[in-house]
């Protein structure tokens, strides 16, 4: 039927095709048959290639943006893999409202219908460069399936990591974050939200550019993943820099007795990360009633999580810092401090509670380490830290 119509079309289309009268009549008929077979094959081939393009995934094909009319043919099908695969690129065009909303989608069924290797999300809150990047590169080497990395910088900063670095192209869309202001908590929530987009991230670690790891990756992974509690420094300080910063306008959502304080650097699980990104109860209160000299990054998450999920908190930090010198900022340590004894004192000189048991393994990271310490750390990392 179709062939007949095609013949008719061809005949109608080419009425003036000159056929030399000297040729026998059988030849054009055979030519026509040959042509029809060829046409049939061409149509079959075309349908096959359209079928293939719809049913195979073209993840790695780069399609020019200008060719927008062709897009629908190559769009990734709505299959299961497209849900569980992390975005290839951490850069995106969502604004915070869109990103936070998207990030708080969380599965309700807790057994995963695929092999999920839970990952640690390392989130670096920085102004720009990461002077300790080469040390971190060494720390992460060989553990590619167990971590992911996110870097928040000042918005104008352009990264310049070599493609071999774990930090290459891990910069997320960022905004200005000021110490002690809500923009700092916004940056932390932005890091959490970006990391939540990868369904395999199970623990979320907030670090600064002045942090270094004190243990090897396997030790860090085990310590955090086997903990029943999330790590955030949280305490009730009755003095002027603790309860003294409380504003009674927060009642009854936050009462004076609920007010908590602690350092901003944390290691939390996925549930608490979703709670922080999704919070719209405490946020407006802290934004309005905790402004300098109330440093909101020392109170917001600490107070909110203590009210909502006290049973999930270890109330202590894994990041060593030295306040012994006094003042508004902790001590910074440079190349002359980088000795075996210095780190031995930090790593071995502690006692704490881990999973309800007394423990002497209490710290995984240290700050603040100055950039000039890097060469000494690279030279001695295996002796000091075992990586």
Ligand X SMILES: *[C@@H]1O[C@H](CO)[C@@H](O)[C@H](O)[C@H]1NC(C)=O
* Residue number, 229 or 385, with CB nearest to ligand X: 229
> What angle separates helix 96-103 from helix 182-196, to the nearest 10 degrees?
50
131-164: b (≥16 Cβ within 10 Å) or e = bbbebbbbbbeebeebbbbbbbbeeeeebebeee
* Residue number, 102 or 368, with CB nearest to ligand X: 102
Tell how far CA 109 is from the center of its chain: 22
**Nearest residue to 260 via CA among 231, 285, 296, 293:** 296
* Residue number, 22 or 95, with CB nearest to ligand X: 95
Burial of 126 (0-12, 13-18, 19+ CB in 10 A): buried
Which is it for the CA torsion 232, 293, 251, 253, positive or negative?
negative
Least Cβ distance, residue 313 to ligand X (angstroms):
5
Least Cβ distance, residue 310 to ligand X (angstroms):
3
From CA 385, how far away is CA 387, in angstroms rounded? Answer: 6
* Residue number, 253 or 370, with CB nearest to ligand X: 253
* Residue number, 249 or 255, with CB nearest to ligand X: 255
* Residue number, 252 or 358, with CB nearest to ligand X: 252
Least Cβ distance, residue 233 to ligand X (angstroms):
11
Least Cβ distance, residue 251 to ligand X (angstroms):
6
Least Cβ distance, residue 56 to ligand X (angstroms):
34
Beta carbons of 262 and 235 less than 8 angstroms apart: yes
Least Cβ distance, residue 293 to ligand X (angstroms):
24
- Helices H / strands E in the chain, number of each: 13, 9
Binding site for ligand X (CB under 6 A): 95-98, 156, 158, 229, 252, 255, 258, 306-307, 310, 313-315
């Amino acid at each position: 039927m179709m062939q007949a119509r095609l013949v008719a079309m061809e005949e109608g289309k080419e009425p003036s095709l000159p056929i030399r009268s000297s040729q026998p009549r059988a030849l054009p008929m055979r030519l026509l048959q040959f042509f029809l077979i060829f046409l049939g094959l061409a149509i079959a081939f075309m349908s096959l290639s359209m079928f293939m393009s719809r049913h195979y995934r073209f993840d790695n094909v780069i399609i020019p943006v200008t060719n927008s009319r062709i897009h629908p043919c190559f769009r990734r099908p709505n299959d299961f893999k497209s849900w569980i695969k992390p975005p290839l690129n951490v850069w995106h065009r969502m604004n915070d409202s869109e990103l936070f909303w998207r990030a708080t989608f969380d599965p309700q069924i807790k057994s995963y219908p695929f092999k999920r290797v839970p990952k640690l999300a390392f989130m670096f809150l920085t102004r720009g460069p990461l002077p300790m990047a080469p040390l971190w590169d060494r720390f992460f080497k060989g553990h590619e399936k167990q971590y992911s990395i996110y870097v928040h910088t000042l918005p104008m900063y352009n990264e310049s990591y070599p493609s071999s670095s774990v930090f290459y192209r891990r910069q997320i869309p960022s905004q200005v974050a000021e110490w002690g202001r809500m923009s700092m908590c916004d940056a932390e929530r932005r890091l959490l939200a970006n990391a939540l987009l990868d369904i395999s991230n199970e623990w979320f670690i907030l670090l600064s550019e002045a942090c270094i790891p004190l243990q090897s990756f396997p030790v860090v992974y085990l310590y955090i993943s086997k903990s029943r509690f999330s790590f955030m420094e949280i305490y009730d300080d009755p003095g002027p820099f603790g309860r003294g910063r409380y504003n009674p306008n927060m009642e009854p959502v936050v009462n004076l007795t609920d007010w908590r304080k602690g350092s901003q650097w944390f290691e939390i699980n996925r549930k608490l990360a979703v709670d922080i990104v999704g919070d719209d109860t405490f946020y407006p209160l802290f934004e309005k009633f905790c402004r300098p000299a109330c440093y909101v990054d020392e109170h917001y998450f600490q107070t909110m999580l203590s009210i909502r999920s006290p049973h999930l908190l270890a109330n202590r930090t894994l990041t060593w810092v030295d306040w012994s010198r006094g003042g508004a900022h902790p001590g910074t340590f440079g190349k002359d401090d980088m000795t075996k004894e210095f780190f031995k004192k930090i790593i071995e000189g502690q006692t704490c509670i881990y999973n309800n048991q007394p423990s002497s393994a209490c710290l995984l990271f240290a700050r603040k380490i100055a950039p000039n310490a890097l060469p000494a750390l690279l030279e001695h990392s295996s002796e000091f830290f075992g990586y």
